[in-house]
């Protein structure tokens, strides 16, 4: 018998819908406003409303890969959408999110941003001319905040080239007079520390890995509320929550992918809820175990990861897992 749970209206409306329709709904991306994400957005809104100054405040949003950085900046951009006035010369873009180029090169950095903006430019132009063109173009779009995503991709390489990139970021910020938000892994945080001026201009806002605490349990409840399964899974229970934390590696992106796959399997198998046996049947490896599995495969071996041992090490007794599907 299904236990009481709170589904969002859209999920509740699909409980009697065909399997394909429910699975399509499960696979959609959706925003979950957990506390750290909300706090990051508050900080970004503060930057958005800041007046034009010579040295505007900035921000470095840093976290492990797949722990929510891009989702947060995309949410921020969605809250400040493009305004396309047919009577205006160009559309207003108050928040612009650009991917960082894949190499630390000042000229390539400007070329990449100009290309991302759809600008017509000459690759052979002087660097200072490209910076002027880029600044002029950004300001004419009504820019309030520029976001450069995954800046760690642009900071790899030798110390000299990395310093050139850091100088380019500083110069662009000075030219714009508008805040810049960088996102990146903890490698980016370490690289920015090599230049004290850049480090001071980009104070870090850290998204830590999830822990087995009240915030994680609330996150699981929020995920479950959007799953149109016909039986309650009780993801935040003391049986399921520790296993989900281990399988996801404490990363929200991993957790989202895992739950989408598990919920899809719950529908296709007819179980209509996510259980421990179902999760183990997925053969899902935590992110930190995948390199070991790949190395084993290269050697012609099969890598086995025992989740029960990890749970036991945490002092968590999972009891008789095989009875869950029969309840």
Please list the pLDDT of the chain residue by residue as tens digits (327 residues).
344 679 999 999 999 999 999 999 999 999 999 999 999 999 999 999 999 888 899 999 999 999 999 999 999 999 999 887 766 666 789 999 988 888 788 888 888 888 888 888 888 899 999 999 999 999 888 999 999 999 998 887 777 888 888 888 888 998 999 999 999 999 998 888 888 888 899 999 999 999 999 999 999 999 999 999 999 999 999 889 999 999 999 999 999 999 999 999 999 999 999 999 999 899 899 988 888 888 888 888 888 887 777 777 766 665 554 445 555
Residue 187 belongs to some domain of the structure: yes
Domain of residue 176, residue span: 35-207
Residue 220 belongs to some domain of the structure: no
- Residue 152: which CATH number? 3.40.50.300
263 lies in the same domain as 314? yes
- Give the Cα separation of 96 and 109 in Å (integer): 16
Structure tokens of 139?
A: 């300001």
236 lies in the same domain as 298? yes
Structure tokens of 70?
A: 């891009």
Domain count, the chain: 2
Of 172, 207, 242, which one is at a domain's C-terminal end? 207
74 lies in the same domain as 196? yes
Beta bridge partners of 206: 62
Nearest Cα residue to 219 out of 11, 34, 25 = 34
- Give the Cα separation of 327 and 274 in Å (integer): 12
62 lies in the same domain as 109? yes
200 lies in the same domain as 56? yes
Tell me the angle at which helices 252-268 and 214-224 cross, rounded to the nearest 10 degrees.
40
Q: Is 315 helix (H, G, I), strand (E, B) or coil?
A: coil
Residue 213 belongs to some domain of the structure: no
242 lies in the same domain as 167? no
Residue 3 belongs to some domain of the structure: no
Q: Is 149 helix (H, G, I), strand (E, B) or coil?
A: strand
Residue 4 belongs to some domain of the structure: no
What pLDDT score does 112 carry?
86
Residue 1 belongs to some domain of the structure: no
Of 207, 235, 256, which one is at a domain's C-terminal end? 207
Residue 217 belongs to some domain of the structure: no
What pLDDT score does 314 carry?
67
106 lies in the same domain as 58? yes
Phi-psi region of 319 (alpha: psi -120 to 50; beta: other; left: phi over 0): left
158 lies in the same domain as 57? yes
Tell me the backbone φ, ψ of residue 41, rounded to 5 degrees: -65, -35
23 lies in the same domain as 43? no
pTM above 0.85, yes or no: yes
Residue 272 to residues 122, 231, 248, 261, 326, Cα–Cα distance (Å): 58, 5, 21, 13, 12
Nearest Cα residue to 198 out of 174, 228, 226, 227 = 174
Tell how far CA 110 is from the center of its chain. Answer: 25
144 lies in the same domain as 232? no
Residue 219 belongs to some domain of the structure: no
What pLDDT score does 291 carry?
86
60 lies in the same domain as 185? yes
147 lies in the same domain as 57? yes
């Amino acid at each position: 018998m299904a236990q009481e749970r709170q589904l969002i209206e859209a999920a509740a409306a699909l409980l009697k819908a065909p399997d394909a329709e429910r699975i399509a709904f499960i696979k959609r991306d959706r925003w979950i406003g957990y506390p750290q994400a909300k706090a990051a957005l508050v900080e970004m809104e503060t930057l958005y409303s800041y007046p034009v100054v010579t040295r505007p405040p900035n921000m470095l949003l840093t976290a492990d890969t797949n722990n929510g950085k891009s989702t947060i900046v995309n949410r921020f951009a969605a809250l400040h959408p493009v305004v396309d006035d047919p009577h205006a010369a160009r559309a207003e873009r108050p928040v612009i999110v650009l991917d960082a180029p894949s190499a630390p090169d000042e000229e390539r950095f400007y070329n990449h941003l100009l290309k991302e903006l759809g600008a017509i430019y000459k690759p052979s132009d002087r660097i200072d001319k490209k910076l002027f063109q880029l600044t002029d173009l950004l300001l004419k779009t009504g820019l309030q905040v520029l976001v450069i995503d995954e800046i760690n991709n642009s900071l790899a390489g030798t110390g000299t080239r990395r310093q050139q990139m850091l100088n380019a970021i500083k110069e662009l910020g000075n030219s714009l007079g508008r805040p810049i938000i960088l996102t990146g892994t903890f490698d980016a945080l370490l690289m920015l520390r090599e230049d004290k001026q850049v480090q001071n201009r980009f104070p870090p806002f850290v998204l830590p890995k999830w822990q087995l605490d009240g915030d994680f349990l609330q996150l699981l409840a929020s995920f479950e509320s959007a799953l149109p399964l016909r039986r309650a899974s009780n993801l935040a229970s003391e049986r399921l929550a520790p296993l989900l934390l281990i399988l996801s590696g404490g990363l929200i992106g991993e957790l989202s992918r895992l739950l989408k796959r598990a919920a899809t399997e719950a529908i296709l198998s007819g179980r209509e809820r996510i259980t421990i046996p179902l999760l183990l049947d997925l053969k899902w490896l935590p992110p930190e175990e995948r390199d070991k599995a790949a190395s084993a495969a290269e050697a012609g071996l099969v890598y086995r990861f025992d989740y029960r041992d990890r749970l036991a090490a945490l002092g968590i007794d999972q009891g008789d897992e095989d009875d869950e599907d029969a309840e």
